Structure 1
Amino acid sequence: MAQIRSLFATRLYRAQLSEYGPAIDADELEGSCYSIAEDDEAGQEWCEANDYPGYTSYASLTDLPWRFPIFGDLVKSLDAHVAAFAEDLEFELGDKKLVLEDLWINILPEGGTHSSHIHPHSVISGTTYVSMPEGASALKLEDPRLPMMMAAPTRKKGCREELKAFVYEAPAVGDVLLWESWLRHEVPMNMSEDERISVSFNYKWE
């Protein structure tokens, strides 16, 4: 009898941020994001100069845990989630470990998108979700084999998830999603009238 197996799995980690402490107050975290965005003139200027929709602190701030203690608590929780994901991935870390490389705020207005990209030089990347109003866009994940498929026909509608070219993961407030940093992803257009707020991050091996 023929045997068919799935090889070379692409793993996606999803959990509630609260599974690992300390507790994060969602309203306080949202308020902190807005407060930082309002005061971050360098970030606002970068977004305007680069036609970036809404606001991101990616190019301007590197010290969020120092500025607001709630981000320090957030990092402690993320450290635990990343460690759990690394266990699942069966990484052999040796005498080094995965440590936070950068952490940034994203505020995406109605009509805003984040185009398809990867996170070079990092090992694990992810996002935790602060505000996800109805109609806010899901995270779109791309099959990393897609560029090699060349003349292959499209998949049947409703095919198994591991065979899809794209998977849309719709997170809720308080969720954290983790993936290996080479996985291409994007945020499609925000169809909500309200802003979609998230905090993204990268972990490196050192």
Structure 2
Amino acid sequence: MAQIDSLFVTRLYRAALAEHGKPVDPGELEAACLSIAEDDEAGQDWCEENGFPGYTSYASLTDLPWRFPIFADLVKVLDKHVASFAKDLEFDLADKKIKLDSLWINILPEGGIHTSHLHPHSVISGTTYVAMPTDTSAIKFEDPRLAMMMAAPSRTKGARAELRNFIYVAPEVGEVLLWESWLRHEVPMNMAEDDRISVSFNYGWE
């Protein structure tokens, strides 16, 4: 009888933030995100100059855990989730560690999108979700083999998840998603009237 195995698995980690350590209050985190966005003129200017819809602190602020204690609390929890995921990935870290490299806010208004991208120079990337209005966009992950499938037919409508070219994940407020940083992803257009708010981050190997 034929044997068919799955090779070169792509892992996606999904959990409630509260699964590791003290819960982070989503309301307090949302208030902090909105307050920073309102005061961050450099970030607002960058978004306008680069045609980024809404707001991101990615290019302007590198010290969120210092500015608001809730971000410091968030990092402590994220460290535990990332350590758990790194263990699942069976990384041989030798005498180095997976450490936080960057942490930033994303506020995506109605009609806003975040085009397809990956996170170079990092090992594990992820997002935790602060405000997810009804009908807001799910995050979309792309099969990393897609560019090599020039002559392949499309998959059937009911294809198993591990065989699809794209996977959509609709997380809830208070959840965290983690993936290896080479995995291409995007946020399709936010169709909700309210803002979609998240905090994203990268961890490197040091």
Structure 2's unaligned 5+ residue stretches are: none
Superposed CA offset, 1:10-42 (max 9, x none)? 000000011112221111000000000000000
| 1:94-105 correspondence runs (5 A) | 94-105=94-105
Say whether residues 1:4 and 2:4 are aligned partners: yes
SS at match of 1:37: helix
State the partner residue of 1:52. Answer: 52
Structure 1's unaligned 5+ residue stretches are: none
Amino acid in the other structure paired with 2:187: V
TM-score, normalized by length of structure 1? 0.99
CA distance in structure 2 between the aligned counterparts of 1:75 and 1:56, rounded to whole angstroms: 18
Amino acid in the other structure paired with 1:31: A
When structure 1 is superposed on structure 2, of 144-153 and 14-23 the one drifting more is 14-23
Residues 122 and 203 in structure 1, CA contact (< 8 A), matched pair in contact too: yes
Superposed CA offset, 1:135-164 (max 9, x none)? 110000000000001100000111000000
State the partner residue of 1:152. Answer: 152
Please, what is the CA RMSD of the aligned residues? 0.4
| 1:112-123 correspondence runs (5 A) | 112-123=112-123
CA distance in structure 2 between the aligned counterparts of 1:184 and 1:204, rounded to whole angstroms: 17
Count how many residue pairs are aligned between Structure 1 and Structure 2: 206
State the partner residue of 1:136. Answer: 136
Residues 130 and 197 in structure 1, CA contact (< 8 A), matched pair in contact too: yes
State the partner residue of 1:87. Answer: 87
CA distance in structure 2 between the aligned counterparts of 1:124 and 1:159, rounded to whole angstroms: 28
Amino acid in the other structure paired with 1:74: L
CA distance in structure 1 between the aligned counterparts of 2:20 and 2:6, rounded to whole angstroms: 31
Q: Could you list the runs of 4 or more consecutive aligned residues of structure 1 that deviate by over 2 angstroms after TM superposition?
A: none
CA distance in structure 2 between the aligned counterparts of 1:114 and 1:105, rounded to whole angstroms: 13
TM-score, normalized by length of structure 2? 0.99
Amino acid in the other structure paired with 1:109: P
| 1:182-193 correspondence runs (5 A) | 182-193=182-193
CA distance in structure 2 between the aligned counterparts of 1:136 and 1:45, rounded to whole angstroms: 25
